[in-house]
Amino acid sequence: MVSRTLLRKTRRDLMSRKGSLLALLAIVTIGVGSYLGMSAVYRDLDGARHRYYTEYRLADFQVDLKRAPEFEIERIQALPNVDEVRGRVSMSVLLDLPDVEEPISGTAISMTEERSPVLNDLFLSSGSWFSGTDRREVILNDSFAKANGIQPGDRIQALLLDKQHDLLVVGTAISPEFVYLIPPSGGIAPDPARFGVLYLPQEFLQESCDQEGAFNQLIGTTHDQSVAAIESTLDEIERELDVYGVANTTRVRENASVRFLADELHGLRVNARVIPAIFLGVAALIMNVLLGRMVAQQRSVIGTLKAIGYGNMAITLHYLGYGIFIGLLGGVFGIAFGTWIQIAMLDLYREFYTVPNIRPHFFLDLWLLGLA
């Protein structure tokens, strides 16, 4: 009898204040949904990044120099804290595409002619690896190929050191060092239609760039990946290769692509805490004001309830029930809203960051926390 009476009162109170309570419910839903959605997106994106960097062996450092003989690779490999190194050729290139009036700039990078696990490996999106029968084959960055309508089997014209080359596109791929593709000159947003990355057979690019038996870029991994250890290792490598004209040494954290994604994840993590806290804080204040006014307006009702036998605990729980009801309903709607945020944001991130397998996952602990 007690519960029925209080439930009828609760229902009447909710209907009489439905406008303000619906607004409060919307605020709670946004707060819970933004926390669940952005937290889930952070886990999905960070997990995909970690798997991608690990499986495709993102290098810890990069050394750019004029020209060094390949036998120096073994000497660098023997240095303390050096785990693995790979010498490669990296060169600026101009591309002449049939339907584009102006030449397009790009970067040509050498890869092994036979498919094998290497540092900064490629994830093939379409086509195949180099056949070995034709040295003038190229694997294009996938986003560049899509932006310009290029498919495996097409041919492109590339200018390397003032010499034009007719290249057969055999595949498209993405690489962990170019998850956010911006030109070396800098930029804010990727422009895949105006900048591309070409992966060419090692010997062909060496001969085309006057780097026979040599390399002009060294990438590697270290045993100790702390900032101080990598800086010390780079200093030692620079001393060893100084005679070959070291132009620049870069830690992976300073790589523009890696830094953009890391900064985005950091911002996402901060927003997942700050934005929900603002909405839920406002909701708590509004709820406190509503309950305070309700209690003040219903003093006579409270007196009547006490007179007919309701204790202080029962009346207190009755008024707290409004907050519990709004919280539970907001949690349910927040889970639905958070799921929508998760899917929508991941779709948006796929447009900017070329990381494979960015998929939404179900996180039970987050959804239970949303209901709590």
- pLDDT given at position 53: 94
- pLDDT given at position 77: 94
Sign of CA dihedral 107, 110, 114, 118: negative
Q: For residue 154, how many other CB atoms are within 10 A of its CB?
A: 16
| Co-location of 226 and 352 in the same domain | no
pLDDT tens sequence across 167-215: 999 999 999 999 988 876 666 777 888 888 999 999 999 998 889 999 9
| Co-location of 121 and 223 in the same domain | yes
- pLDDT given at position 2: 47
| Co-location of 223 and 84 in the same domain | yes
Distance between CA 247 and CA 238 in Å, rounded?
A: 9
Whole-model pTM?
Answer: 0.84
- pLDDT given at position 318: 64
Q: Give the CA diameter of the chain.
A: 99
pLDDT tens sequence across 286-321: 888 877 777 666 676 666 666 666 666 766 666 666
| Co-location of 153 and 85 in the same domain | yes
Q: Of 308, 280, 285, which Cα lies nearest the Cα of 9?
A: 308
pLDDT of 364 > 70? The answer is yes
Average pLDDT, the chain: 87
| Co-location of 218 and 271 in the same domain | no
Q: What is the DSSP string of 122-165?
A: -EEEEE-S--SS-SSEEEEEHHHHHHTT--TT-EEEEEETTEEE
Distance between CA 47 and CA 43 in Å, rounded?
A: 6
- pLDDT given at position 87: 95
The residues pairing with 104 across neighbouring beta strands, listed in sequence order, are 95
| Co-location of 349 and 215 in the same domain | no
| Co-location of 265 and 245 in the same domain | no
